[in-house]
Structure 1
Amino acid sequence: MENLEQLEALCERLYNSQDSAERAYAENTLKCFSQDTSCIPQLEYILENARNPYAVLFASSSLLKHITQNILPLQLQLQIRNHVVNYLASRSANLEHFVATSLIQLVCRVSKLGWFVDDKFQELISDSVNFMNQQEAAHYAMGLKVLNQLVSEMNRVSLADMAIIVFTAFITCNLKSFLDPHKLCKGLNHHDNYHELCRFLGRFKVNFQLSEVVSVEFYNSWIGLISDFTLKSLQSWKWTSSSIYYLLELWSRMVTSLPYVKDKSTNYRLDEFVPKILEGFVSSRFDSVQAGFSDDLLEGPLDKAELMQDQLKFFPYLFRFQCESCSTYLINAMDPLLQEYMDGTKLQEYVSSSNVVLTETKLAWMVHIVGAILSVKQYTGCTSNEVIDADLSARVLQLINFMDTGSYVQQLYVRLSELLRLHDHLLILDVMVRKIANNLKFCSESEEVLDQTLALFSEMTSGLMTGKLLLKLDSIHYITENHNREHFLFLKDYSSRRRTTFYFTVGSLMFMEDNIVKFKQAIDPLQQVFVNLESIPDPLFRDETVKCAIAGLMRDLRGIAMAIHSRKAYGFLFDWLYPAHMPLLLKAIATWIDSPEVTTPLLKFYAELVLNKAQRLTFDQSSPNGILLFWEVSKLLVAYGSRILALSGPKDVYRSKYKGIWVSLSILTRGMYFQN
Structure 2
Amino acid sequence: MLTVALWSLLPLFLVCGQSLAQLEILCKQLYETTETGVRLQAEKALVEFTNSPDCLSKCQLLLERGSSSYSQLLAATCLSKLVSRTSNPLPLEQRIDIRNYVLNYLATRPKLAAFVTQALIQLYSRITKLGWFDCQKDDYVFRNVIADVTRFLQVQTVEHCIIGVTILSQLTNEINQADTSHPLTKHRKIASSFRDSSLFDIFTLSCNLLKQASGKNLNLNDESQHGLLMQLLKLSHNCLNYDFIGTSTDESSDDLCTVQIPTSWRSAFLDSSTLQLFFDLYHSIPPSLSPLVLSCLVQIASVRRSLFNNAERAKFLSHLVDGVKRILENPQSLSDPNNYHEFCRLLARLKSNYQLGELVKVENYPEVIRLIANFTVTSLQHWEFAPNSVHYLLSLWQRLAASVPYVKATEPHLLETYTPEVTKAYITSRLESVCIILRDGLEDPLDDAGLVQQQLDQLSTIGRCEYEKTCALLVQLFDQSAQTYQELLQSTNSSTIDITVQEGRLTWLVYIIGAVIGGRVSFASTDEQDAMDGELVCRVLQLMNLTDSRLAQAGNERLELAMLSFFEQFRKIYIGDQVRSAVQPGLTDCVLFVLSRGCPM
2:169 and 2:234 in contact (8 A); partners too:
no
In the alignment, what sits opposite 1:94?
A: 227
Map residues 480-629 of structure 1 onto 2, 5 A cutoff: none
Is the CA contact (8 Å cut-off) linking 1:43 and 1:63 kept in structure 2? no
Task: Give the whole-Å Cα distance in 1 for the aligned partners of 2:204 and 2:309.
Answer: 22
Distance (whole Å) between structure 2 residues aligned to residue 125 and residue 322 of structure 1: 36
User: Which amino acid counterpart does residue 30 of structure 1 have in structure 2?
Assistant: T
2:376 is the counterpart of 1:230: yes
Q: Does the 8 A contact of 1:151 with 1:163 survive in 2?
A: no
Matching of residue 332 in structure 1 with residue 488 in structure 2: no
Q: Which residue of 2 aligns with 1:104?
A: 237
Matched with 1:587 is none
Contact kept, 8 Å, 1:151 with 1:203, in 2: the verdict is yes
- Higher alpha-carbon deviation: 386-395 or 276-285: 386-395
**Residue-by-residue CA offset, 1:5-51 (whole Å, 9 max, x unaligned):** 89x97996499869963997667742377554544321455676464
Letter in 1 for 2:239: L
Cα separation, 2, equivalents of 1:73 and 1:374: 49
* Structure 1 counterpart of 2:331, from 162, 176, 184: 184
- Name the amino acid aligned to 1:368: Y
2:385 is aligned with 1:239 = yes
Query: 2-side partners of 1:11 and 1:114: how far apart?
Result: 41
TM-score, reference length from structure 2: 0.58
Aligned partner of residue 204 in structure 1, secondary structure:
helix
1:294-319: CA deviation from partner (whole Å, max 9, x where unpaired) = 212x1132233222222111111111
Shift of 1:58: 3.2
**Cα pair 2:169 2:238 within 8 Å, conserved:** no
TM-score when normalising by structure 1: 0.52
| Contact 1:46-1:55 at 8 Å conserved across structures | no
Indicate how the Cα distance of structure 1 residues 246 and 368 shifts in structure 2: closer, same or farther if over 3 A, else same: same
Structure 1 residue 60: Cα displacement: 3.4
Residues 248/120 of structure 1: CA separation in 2 closer, same or farther (3 Å cut): closer
In the aligned structure 2, how far is the partner of 1:172 from the partner of 1:33? 45
Preserved CA contact (<8 Å) 1:115 1:121: no
**1:619-661 per-position Cα deviation (integer Å, ceiling 9, x unaligned):** xxxxxxxxxxxxxxxxxxxxxxxxxxxxxxxxxxxxxxxxxxx
2:433 aligns with 288
Match of 1:306 among 450, 453, 456: 450
8 A Cα contact 2:463 2:516, kept in partner: yes
**SS state at 2:412 partner:** coil
Change (3 A) 1:103 1:274: same
The one-letter amino acid paired with 2:429 is S
Which of 400, 423, 430 is the matching residue for 1:254?
400
How many equivalent pairs are there?
Answer: 407
Aligned to 1:83: 209
CA displacement, residues 444-476 of structure 1 (integer Å, 9 cap, x when unaligned): xxxxxxxxxxxx9xx9xxxxxxxxxxxxxxxxx
1:164–1:208 contact (8 Å) kept in structure 2: no
What is the CA distance between 1:127 and its match in structure 2?
0.9
User: Are the structure 2 counterparts of residues 283 and 30 from structure 1 closer, same or farther at C-alpha, using a change threshold of 3 Å?
Assistant: same
1:149 correspondence with 2:149: no
Q: Is contact 1:132–1:140 with CA below 8 Å preserved after alignment?
A: yes
Residue 564 of structure 2 corresponds to: none
CA distance in 2, matches of 1:15, 1:317: 56
Distance change (3 Å), C-alpha of 1:61 and 1:341: closer
Unpaired runs of 5+ residues, structure 2, are 4-59, 65-71, 91-122, 134-139, 154-159, 177-190, 219-223, 245-260, 562-601
Deviations 1:132-161 (A, max 9, x none): 111511332222111012123436969777
Summarize the Cα distance change of 1:349–1:376 in structure 2 as closer, same or farther, 3 Å threshold: same
**Paired residue for 2:286?**
136
Q: 1-side partners of 2:477 and 2:234: how far apart? A: 45
> Which residue in 2 is equivalent to 1:546?
none
Query: How far 1:228 sits from its partner (Å)?
Result: 0.6
Percent sequence identity over aligned pairs:
23
Which of residues 85, 88, 95 in structure 2 aligns to 1:21?
85
Larger Rg: 1
**CA 1:87/1:105 → structure 2, altered by over 3 Å: closer, same or farther?**
farther
Q: Does 1:203 align with 2:267?
A: no
Alignment of 1:58 with 2:170, yes or no, is yes
Change (3 A) 1:78 1:94: closer
2:502 aligned to 337, 355, 359, which one? 359
When residues 393 and 43 of structure 1 are mapped into structure 2, their CA distance, relative to the original with a 3 A threshold, is farther
Deviation larger for 92-101 or 274-283: 92-101
State the 1:291 CA deviation.
0.6
**Does the CA contact (< 8 Å) of 1:152 and 1:203 recur in 2?**
yes
User: Structure 1 residues 18, 287: closer, same or farther in 2, change over 3 A?
Assistant: farther
- Distance (whole Å) between structure 2 residues aligned to residue 160 and residue 15 of structure 1: 52
Aligned counterparts of 2:461 and 2:384: Cα–Cα separation in 1: 25
Structure 1 residues 254-263 or 27-36, which shifts more? 27-36
SS of the residue 1:216 aligns to: coil
Aligned to 2:69: none
Using the alignment, how far apart are the partners of 1:92 and 1:310 within structure 2? 42
Render the CA deviation track for 1:508-535: whole Å, top value 9, x for unaligned.
xxxxxxxxxxxxxxxxxxxxxxxxxxxx
Contact 2:230 2:289 in 1 (8 A): no
Q: Secondary structure at the match of 1:349?
A: coil
Q: Is the 8 A contact 1:12 1:55 kept in 2?
A: no
TM-fit CA distance, 1:168: 1.5
Once residues 294 and 357 of structure 1 are traced to their aligned partners in structure 2, the CA distance between those partners, rounded to angstroms, is 11
CA RMSD, aligned part only?
A: 4.3
Distance 1:192 1:12 in 2: 33
Contact 1:137/1:190 (<8 A) preserved: yes
Q: How does 1:379-398 map to 2 (within 5 A)?
A: 379-380=523-524, 382-398=526-542
Whole-angstrom CA distance in 1 between matches of 2:445 and 2:532: 27
